[in-house]
Structure 1
Amino acid sequence: MTDLAPSRLRICRADYHNPEHAGALVLLLDAYAQDPAGGGEPLSDFAKSHLVKELAVRPQAFSVLAFDGDAPVGLINCIEGFSTFACKPLINIHDVAVMASHRGQRVGEQMLALVDEIARERGACKLTLEVLQGNHSAIRLYERVGFAGYQLDPAMGQARFFHKWLD
């Protein structure tokens, strides 16, 4: 596929108080959640109704949206963390979603460029993300824009991502 015409594709930082942006964020995240790469289940009604409000009260959170004309086609949600080793902020890219109709058109790459810019404005030392090993197209994207597996000492191997649900 070819890149979208620059005049049609609009990449912007989400304004959580803008109803168009709020609706796009929920729509795109729900579509991502229903995709096999996102777990294959829709967002809960609770998440749909509270997500934008909860992001808005967290100064460490920001989102980037992509629109093709008026149609929302891409989303990245980010949460600022802190690198104790660097003693600087870091940005965790928590969700990356591009509608199936727009995959392969560099939408994700353009959104990641804005994430990079915002992270630098915040004084962040690095971007982090996790990706499922079977999501080959996402891995190619991330490697193309400069991401690599995390390791401190090659003898210790690459870092693994773990989680634990809390009741």
Structure 2
Amino acid sequence: MPYSLAGDPITICRVDYADAHDAAALVMLLDGYAQDVTGGSEPLTAEVKQGLPEALRQRPQAFSVLAWADDTNHPTGRVPVGLVNCFEGFSTFACKPLVNVHDVVVVPAWRGHRIAQRMLHVVEAMARERGACKLTLEVLSGNHSALRAYEREGFAAYTLDPKMGHAQFLQKLLD
């Protein structure tokens, strides 16, 4: 179901991982993000580009949204300008699902148009439909524009007791 207002040049839609057009847009946007300094500055491998849409389709806990902009110069009449990939997790403290916002991508030419905020509003609605108790995400501390955007949307550092400090995101690679 597309989310947009009449006359609005931006439409936000849930990704159909089996749809070739949606899958190509997802891979193109994620590859652009991966090549950006905020995404690690490395392109996706050919294997990831080939397998990602099907791998996501196989995971019922995964969902994504795309932002499309009207473009009369494009053969399809629209171009992808934003992507959010999400995964449902579970909060043991609340005994309810939670949704982790894993990737947020907006093409450089469309930054500053509140595309991320619009996609996050749709993600929030979808999370509420799933009965989720919260949204979570990770962001690099040096990505100040993203931090401001997330704070405007109500995201804040996670803490249980201020004396114990804020939660930190850690990883351990298994490859």
Q: Which residue of structure 1 aligns with residue 42 of structure 2?
A: 41
> Deviation string for 1:1-36 (max 9, x for gaps)?
xxxx95211111111111111000000000000000
Task: Give runs of ≥4 in structure 1 deviating > 3 Å.
Answer: none
Following the alignment from structure 1 to structure 2, what is the Cα–Cα distance between the partners of residues 98 and 159?
26
Q: TM-score, normalised by structure 2?
A: 0.91
SS of aligned partner of 1:51: helix
Pairwise mapping of residues 50-69 of structure 1 onto structure 2 (< 5 A)?
50-69=51-70
Higher alpha-carbon deviation: 74-83 or 6-15: 6-15
Following the alignment from structure 1 to structure 2, what is the Cα–Cα distance between the partners of residues 61 and 117?
15
SS of aligned partner of 1:67: strand
Following the alignment from structure 1 to structure 2, what is the Cα–Cα distance between the partners of residues 101 and 71?
12
Q: Which residue of structure 1 aligns with residue 24 of structure 2?
A: 23
Q: In the alignment, does 2:105 pair up with 1:104?
A: no
Name the % identity. Answer: 61
Pairwise mapping of residues 6-155 of structure 1 onto structure 2 (< 5 A)?
7-69=8-70, 70-155=78-163
Name structure 1 gaps, 5 residues minimum.
none
CA spacing shift, 1:157–1:6, aligned 2, 3 Å: farther
Following the alignment from structure 1 to structure 2, what is the Cα–Cα distance between the partners of residues 15 and 78?
14
Greater relative contact order (Cα 8 A, min sep 6): structure 1 or 2? 1
How many pairs were matched up?
163
Following the alignment from structure 1 to structure 2, what is the Cα–Cα distance between the partners of residues 162 and 15?
31
